[in-house]
């Protein structure tokens, strides 16, 4: 079948928004399958910047249908603001262009308050969450107490579920964290005032919509959020997000079988970045790291936090390729490295006196690991106007060849800037 999963191969912020937007012109459906408003996908088209947190990155293409699947946790207040901004800009004008699964978990204000209170209580031991309520909402789903999108259209059920939820959440907020409780009636009225705004996007069985599209040969893109190394089960736990970010989550979050997938596209920057706490083996806590941050404009699209920067990490990337089953790669932000004296490439780790090539599963081991760096020649030319590999300086071509060889996975697309046009293709996406 013609399903393609787009995942981040590092810690997120690899440019998934741009790539999904770029390929959405060829896609019939774009499906967001996990995470919530903790994602920030930046699209730049003709110099106009659009940042999406919940709406799939196919929203700027009128013929492409966008689906928010059951694996997503949806903040309807933020969703309504995002949709209004898109519609005001002339997008999402077609009926049925955006669909929300009835099975989505709804984020409520008390989820956000609890998330922020927990992070505050951790003091210097913060996880680095966005404070958007993602974790507490997924907790409710796992404990079978979640408010689902379909509950919004049954007022009695909604109020009963809110009352049950607030008994626990208010106790925690007020008695444990010393925060103000949430008023049931005010919350209920606030939610009900937004129901009419989200009702036009309701889809009772989004899984069936996606399945039927795939069965009929339509082209479907599955858009991941965050990155593989933030996966709840396989990332740098506990410094991870609250959902599974790897490719298998696309099937689970959407409700389709793995035989529906034809390609898994892994995105990687030409260097590494990370937001929040947790081990980062190749981090550059020096002028080089600051230079990468400034040139690459490495600031979080959701939180505005500066990203930690470092050299590319082949050990971590090989791990991401393995746990995702990545078949093809996209290399982004190659232009940022122009003008550096040399480029560092982490080929192995040193851990407790031994050289290792496999990514440690223990966060404690990762925190002790040291990078083994191979330095390669950089280039001085500005490459943001390159439109084919032949346009790149030899040193840039050699860097791409090195990454392809070391990772054993073809690089199909190279991005040399934020705009759609600043992209070169080795082969068509849907091939």
Residues forming the active site: 13, 41
Q: Are 198 and 148 in contact (CB under 8 A)?
A: no
Question: Which pair of structure tokens corresponds to residue 284?
Answer: 């550059």
- Inter-CA distances, 429 with 212, 217, 248, 250, 330, Å: 21, 15, 20, 18, 11
Task: Tell which residue, 241, 248, 224, has the closest CA to residue 33.
Answer: 224
Q: How far apart are CA 215 and CA 408, in angstroms?
A: 31
Q: Taking each helix axis from N to C terminus, what angle separates 155-171 and 109-121, rounded to the nearest 10 degrees?
A: 20
Q: What is the per-residue DSSP string for 74-121?
A: E-HHHHHHHHHHHHHTT-S-STTSEEEETTPEEP-HHHHHHHHHHHHH
- Inter-CA distances, 215 with 208, 212, 252, 253, 262, Å: 10, 5, 18, 18, 13
Eight-state DSSP code of residue 391:
G
Strands 29-32 and 220-223: parallel
Task: Report the length, in residues, of the chain.
Answer: 431
Q: How far apart are CA 418 and CA 295, in angstroms?
A: 12
- Inter-CA distances, 259 with 26, 66, 263, 377, Å: 21, 21, 11, 42
Eight-state DSSP code of residue 259:
G
CA dihedral 228, 233, 235, 240 (to 10 degrees): 100
Q: How far apart are CA 389 and CA 399, in angstroms?
A: 11
Q: How far apart are CA 369 and CA 361, in angstroms?
A: 12
Q: How far apart are CA 411 and CA 423, in angstroms?
A: 13
Question: Which pair of structure tokens corresponds to residue 265?
Answer: 């596209």
């Amino acid at each position: 079948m013609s399903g393609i999963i787009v995942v981040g191969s590092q810690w997120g912020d690899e440019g998934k928004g741009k790539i999904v937007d770029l390929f959405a012109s060829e896609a019939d459906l774009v499906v967001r399958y996990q995470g919530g408003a903790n994602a920030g996908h930046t699209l730049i088209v003709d110099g106009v910047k659009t940042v999406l947190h919940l709406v799939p990155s196919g929203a700027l293409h009128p013929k492409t249908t966008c689906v928010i699947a059951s694996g997503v946790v949806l903040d309807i207040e933020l969703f309504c603001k995002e949709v209004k901004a898109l519609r005001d800009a002339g997008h999402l004008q077609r009926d049925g262009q955006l669909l929300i699964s009835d099975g989505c978990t709804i984020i409520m204000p008390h989820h956000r308050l609890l998330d922020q209170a927990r992070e505050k209580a951790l003091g210097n031991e913060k996880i680095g969450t966005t404070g958007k309520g993602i974790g507490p909402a997924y907790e409710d789903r796992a404990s079978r107490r979640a408010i689902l999108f379909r509950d919004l259209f049954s007022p009695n059920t909604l109020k009963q579920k809110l009352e049950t939820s607030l008994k626990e959440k208010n106790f925690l907020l007020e008695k444990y964290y010393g925060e103000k409780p949430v008023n049931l009636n005010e919350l209920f009225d606030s939610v009900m005032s937004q129901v009419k705004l989200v009702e036009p996007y309701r889809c009772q069985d989004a899984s069936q919509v996606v399945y039927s599209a795939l069965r009929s040969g339509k082209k479907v893109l599955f858009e991941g959020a965050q990155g593989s190394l933030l996966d709840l089960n396989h990332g740098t736990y506990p410094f991870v997000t609250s959902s599974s970010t790897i490719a298998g989550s696309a099937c689970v979050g959407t409700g389709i079988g793995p035989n529906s997938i034809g390609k898994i596209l892994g995105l990687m920057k030409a260097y590494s970045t990370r937001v929040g706490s947790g081990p980062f083996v190749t981090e550059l806590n020096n002028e080089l790291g600051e230079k990468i941050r400034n040139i690459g404009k490495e600031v979080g699209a959701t939180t505005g936090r500066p990203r930690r920067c470092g050299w590319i990490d082949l050990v971590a990337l090989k791990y991401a390729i393995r746990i995702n089953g990545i078949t093809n790669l996209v290399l982004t932000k190659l232009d940022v490295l122009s003008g550096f004296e040399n480029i560092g490439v982490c080929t192995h780790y040193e851990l407790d006196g031994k050289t290792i090539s496999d990514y440690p599963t223990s966060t404690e081991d990762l925190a002790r690991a040291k990078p083994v760096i191979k330095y390669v020649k950089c280039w001085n030319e500005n490459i943001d106007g390159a439109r084919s590999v032949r346009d790149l300086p030899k040193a840039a071509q050699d860097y791409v060849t090195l990454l392809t060889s070391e990772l054993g996975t073809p690089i199909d697309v190279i991005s040399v800037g934020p705009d759609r046009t600043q992209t070169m293709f080795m082969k068509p996406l849907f091939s």
